[in-house]
Amino acid sequence: MTRSENLQAACPLWAIAINRGVVLQWPAGGAMGTQPGAALALGLALVAGCEKTLETKNIQTKIESEVKSRSWPMKSVSCPPKVKAKKGDKFTCTVELEDGQTVTMGVVQQDEVGNCNIDSASTVIPLAGLLDDFKKQLNVDTIDCPKKAVIFPPGTETKLKCKVTRATATGELTLSVDDKGKAKGDLVMAGAGESAPTASAASAKPDASADDDKDE
């Protein structure tokens, strides 16, 4: 986005004209008077209050592409339509996952034309690949977990209770996942009279930081 585009997005046309050295005058008898000096003074005051703005459409598209590359079960990405264009300023966008969970993405402007660093303080581990591995290792037909991804601060671990089917039998898989994408599962089949098998798997695409990603 050019400087003139930014100004036009935030300033009245006549204020931009004055900023470019064109002095506009109101018609004789106009409510603001007829003195060129008065028009110039008012125009300069308004120009001083104008701010360059940045449309975030390209940044939102960049986040969508990054999220897809990490195999997050994404439903949507939302950013504020416009923000003040200023190097170092920050704003946030929100990624909504298919299971209703949300992830906040922090955006830091590197300049005034749309180059940004994008990052998230949360670690997101998609479960689809892990569950496929567990189905093969445990010889079960389906694994149904309450979430499609695990979200947590770095350095933590979470547990999920997932429903399992094998032919006509049902069971429960206790799934432990850490922020590196490593998982362990303990399976108990209802009425099967068997000892609970244990399996482990690692995420096919461990989550990674989006630091230094840029958008033109």
Output the pLDDT for position 162: 96
Output the pLDDT for position 51: 75
Output the pLDDT for position 179: 87
- Name the maximum alpha-carbon separation found in the chain: 98
Residue 100 DSSP one-character state:
S
Which H, E and C letters describe 61-94, residue by residue?
HHHHHHHHHCCCCEEEEECCCEEECCCCCEEEEE
Residue 98 DSSP SS3: coil
Stretches in the chain below the pLDDT threshold 70: 1-50, 191-216
Distance CA 127, CA 107 (A): 26
Output the pLDDT for position 154: 75
Q: Express each pLDDT in 33-60 by its tens digit.
A: 444 444 444 444 444 456 789 999 999 9
Number of DSSP helices (H) and strands (E) in the chain, helices first: 5, 13
Distance CA 38, CA 164 (A): 78
How big, in percent rounded to 5, are the helix, strand and coil portions of the chain? 25, 35, 40
- pTM of model > 0.85: no
Output the pLDDT for position 74: 96
Residue 3 DSSP SS3: helix
Q: How many other CB atoms sit within 10 Å of the CB of residue 69? A: 11
Output the pLDDT for position 32: 44
Domain residue limits, the chain: 3-48, 53-122, 125-202
Distance CA 25, CA 93 (A): 43
Distance CA 62, CA 31 (A): 48
